[in-house]
Amino acid sequence: MSHCSTATPQDNNVNDTEEPLKKRIKIDHNGDEKKMSSSAMEVTATAEVDEKLYSRQLYVMGHEAQRRMMASHALLIGASGLGAEVAKNCILAGISSITLCDPNPANSFDLGGNFYLKEADVGSSSSRAELCKGKLAELNKYVSVKVADMPSLEKEAILNLVDGMSVVVITIPLPTDILHAINEKCREVNASFIYTLSTGLFGKVFCDFGKDFVVSDKDGENPASSQVENIIASNPAVVKVLEDQGRHGLETGDFVTFSRVKGLDGLIDEKSRQYEVKVTGPYTFELVGCDFSAASSPATQGYITQVKKPVSMSFKTYADALEDPGELMMSDFAKSDRPPILHLAYKALALYSEKNALQYPQPGDDNAAQQVLDLAKSIDSDNILDGNAAAERIILHLASGSRSILSPMCAALGGIVGQELLKACSGKFTPINGFLYFDADECLPEKLLPQTEVSPTGSRYDSQIAVFGKTAQQKLLDLNYFLVGAGAIGCEMLKNWALMGVGCGEKGHIHITDMDRIEKSNLSRQFLFRDDDISEFKSSTAARAAKVMNTDMNISDYVEKVGSDTEHLFGDDFYDKLDGVCTALDNVEARLYVDQRCLFYRLPMLESGTLGTKGNTQVVVPHLTENYGATRDPPEKSIPVCTLKNFPNQIQHTLQWARDYFEGEFKQSAEDVNSYLASPNFAETLAKEQNTKLDTVKSIRRTLVAERPTRFEDCVVWARLKFEELFKNQISQLLHNFPEDQVTSTGTKFWSGSKRCPKPLAFDLYSKCEDAGMRNHFDFIVAAANLRASMFGIKGRNDEEYFRDVLNNVIVPDFVPKAGVKIASNESEAKEEAEVTNRGGEMDVDTECEEILNELPKQSELAGFQLTPVDFDKDIDEHMLFVTACSNLRALNYSIPTEDTHRSRAIAGRIIPAIATTTALVTGLICLELYKITGTSQKELQLDALKNGFVNLAIPFMTLSEPTAPAKTKAILEGKEWNWTAWDSLDFNMGDITLQEFLDIFEKKYRLDISMLSYNVSILFSFFANRKKVEERKKMKMSEVVTSVSKKQLPPNQLFIILEVIANDLDTDEEVELPYVKFRFR
């Protein structure tokens, strides 16, 4: 027998002050758990975390939580649509094992939600669990996927499976007495219990994690951090933070630690003490019980970090919660009365099923649906249904569609439940305490559809037909949609569409594009990809995988970026055939471009995004809602240049500096050399870059002549001298200009506030930083030398003994301060220096450039020679080793806490944390909006039926809200008031008429006199233009006028010309504010 050991790596997202482990799990060599601990916090795996695979997820969960998941085992009862979603999400997340328990055969309703079942599987002798096992196992080689061998779901057989499990999840209806028994058994063995159902457009989730479940991190947010402006020597001590760094973000009762505190006679205990906080303002707080009044001086600098404390939660059993659910979690505040109704409805549905051999009502069986409603009335002790016709409608719809397994609902609930499962295994994030009910009844018609419209046909779409009817299903099949992006959201979306039948009819089609290729880090959430697909294009691979799920899907894949430079491919003729666009993008710029296309072509846009456990969805519908770009977040603040160059105070500053240095030293310098070698007229090219040409030629001289290596040893020497220059000499020069005791003209210390006084570093091959535990000195030399060698095509090496021998023989010149060196002390001085440089000394610059160019070897002497520029890639370890070491060394210069490579990778690479559960949830929510847009029988789409969503699975929190209507602009047209929006335009569909005909229409139809007409930057017509030219153009067709004035031919796939008009009312002579003119000339 082997024992799980405890691991406590440094991780910013996990508090490292957790309670000691009271118990340990015993696991045999086959991974079978023999004894379960009382808390997920007490479980820790010994296996190493595959950081390449779980890269993005680790920024959500953290290493410690990931290790706990890797030591956890789940029992999943039910392998229909919801079960498959939950299994997929927890397997991608990397738990140790999952046991599938479902002896039931597949039926046509299962095909609506289980993406690993095929039509041929219906009627198979194999169970749903057996049919899914192989495909699920392919998702993650580290996860053991098993199938419980049992002929039926008998109570005792199920209870025997609970032993050794961390969590039990039930996704299919079971008799209430068996549910209670499983719940009680879970409590006995300290396993968490989750019961969830997806029935048509309604769903429920219940969680019982025991009497005393410990949550290590309730919200997953990074600990609040700030910088000390001063700590007053008083009783109690009062802390004020630097206001330009933002509010401290603390609450009374929080605990904090301090580091790098300067002053206060050393009274602050930075090593072991946590200080309790009493907040007195957004930038001030007191330290409870701390009397620092005896200190001779206040503290003037330092770092403050919040301590995240574990919390304990208590849960009700399923039996107790059924009778007294307490406060029910809300998902839509417009439906505040809905959770109690659904609680009652599901109790009635359970009673009905137990009276009918665990079968739910058949679709369209009005009598059976009425029986469920009658049962609800009979147990309605709170009189919820008295005179409540709306509540009765909800129960009837739930009952009628209860056999339906809808992919969007399974995806949404599977994301929620999958995260609850991970909470049970990891102890991270706050679980749902009790019940969550969720519904999308806005998709439904007001009344039940007739049985002829909803009765099963034995097709893969029976689940959707049961809810929406055959007519609506045909609309889905005939949809033509453009999916922009084939990453995590794109994969989930394609899976949902394959099950829904989107683009799977004779008239339907899906277009998908993504220019990226598959990387290993994608595999933990982009579930359509496998190891064998690495380096393949995402779009084509995802298209093939979706086609396997539904062979009827009509899909075309592209590897092009969507933007102005690809409008020859995605142009008027392309968008003209679409019914809508779905974005699965990772940047705002691309979203805004697609938004403008959707505005112009008046197409719905389905938008969603995730950030760790947070997710958002936005549905954009022509004329009903505002467009995506109508509201925008403010741009990110940039770091001032002088802060980066000389006065950093945060690790973000040093990482940006290290990134910039990487780009300049290993990429730009090589590109400059290659440009010189490839251009015989390099001097002429250089003349166009007056502000940077001197730096460019100096860089070429250094790289090509003064510092050009011929062997790897030269690269090591170069790296050692760079260390001296960057982390000792430059700092010494800065202190020469601004000594530590310098005061400003106002008498304040220069080195105070956000300006941290630096200290030069003495090179030490064995030095290890306290915070990150990294050998930054050694790492910098190794990474810099190897990157330099790769530029010059020299073979690198990493053995420490070799580096030690070479470094011992490097002669490092002593530092001598330079006189006359100007260093900007603030941003305004930096701008002044740049302006002076740009204005003056051009003759000196030209002369010096010419002299340097004459010193360089001629291109003919280096024929065939070329350097290899190094493009920074956050996922290449050697690149990140350099950036991390470089950043940390600069941080050590300025007494800034250092970071390890994992955290540095997130900051420097601007990595977006991601996890499969959130992705599944947002795509499920957005596909529910697709149902509404496509159109439900007997119901006209209204704004209040649409829902935008924001979720945070960590808290947990979900809110769905009505989208905002588009802003209106008032105009008088044809004598009538017209309130137009961004969706509107003046549409001309009369063919390629002449300019005169165009002007006449405005005058006669709209009573408007056009004073100016323009196309892009070209003025086609104006009252002040040359009269002769105007008369000539009036006789020309509109397309001819455009090509004549713009001097550009219109592409063959362009159907529309966009015209801007300035016009006055002929009756009032007032200018009328108009939208653009959409002129169709083909």
Which ranges of 260-406 would DSSP assign to H, the alpha helix? Answer: 318-323, 338-355, 366-378, 389-400
Using DSSP bridges, classify how beta strands 957-961 and 948-952 pair: parallel, antiparallel or unpaired: antiparallel
CA atoms within 13 A on the CB side of 699: 20
CA distances in angstroms from 283 to 262, 652, 748, listed in the order given = 19, 21, 21
CB-CB contact of 583 with 485 (8 Å): yes
Strands 73-77 and 97-101: parallel
| Residue positions counted in the chain | 1082
Exactly one of 4, 410, 598, 642 is catalytic; name it: 642
Please state, in angstroms and rounded to a whole number, the distance separating the CA atoms of residues 203 and 208. Answer: 17
Tell me the C-alpha distance between 346 and 394, whole Å.
11
- Smallest CA-to-CA distance from 173 within 343, 342, 350 is with 350
Nearest alpha carbon to residue 1064 among 1015, 994, 1012: 1012
642 given a catalytic annotation: yes
- Is there a contact between 850 and 862 (Cβ–Cβ < 8 Å)? no
Distance CA 473, CA 410 (A): 18
User: What does the angle CA 193 – CA 197 – CA 201 come to, to the nearest 5 degrees?
Assistant: 150
Other beta carbons within 10 Å of 575: 19
Q: Which residues fall within 8 angstroms of residue 884, CB to CB, at 6 or more apart?
A: 658, 772, 774, 776, 779, 899, 900, 901, 904, 905, 908
CA dihedral (321, 325, 329, 333) positive or negative: positive
The Cα 89–Cα 196 span in angstroms is 15
Residue 239 CA from chain centroid, whole number: 35
d(CA 397, CA 990): 48
State both tokens at 1060.
Answer: 């801007």
SS3 22: coil
Beta bridge partners of 256: 275, 306
Q: Which residues of 753-784 are buried (b: 16+ CB within 10 A; e: fewer)?
A: bebbbbbbbebeeeeebebbebbbbbbbbbbb
- The answer to whether 809 and 721 have CB atoms below 8 angstroms apart is no
The tokens describing 653, both together, are 């500053």
Kindly give, in sequence order, each residue whose CB lies less than 8 Å from that of residue 188, ignoring residues fewer than 6 positions away.
none
Q: Rounded to whole angstroms, what are the CA distances from 534 to 49, 85, 135, 530?
A: 20, 23, 18, 7
Contact assessment for residue 504 and residue 475, using Cβ atoms and an 8 Å cutoff: no
In this structure, are residues 986 and 1076 in contact, taking their beta carbons and an 8 Å threshold?
Answer: yes
Catalytic residues: 642
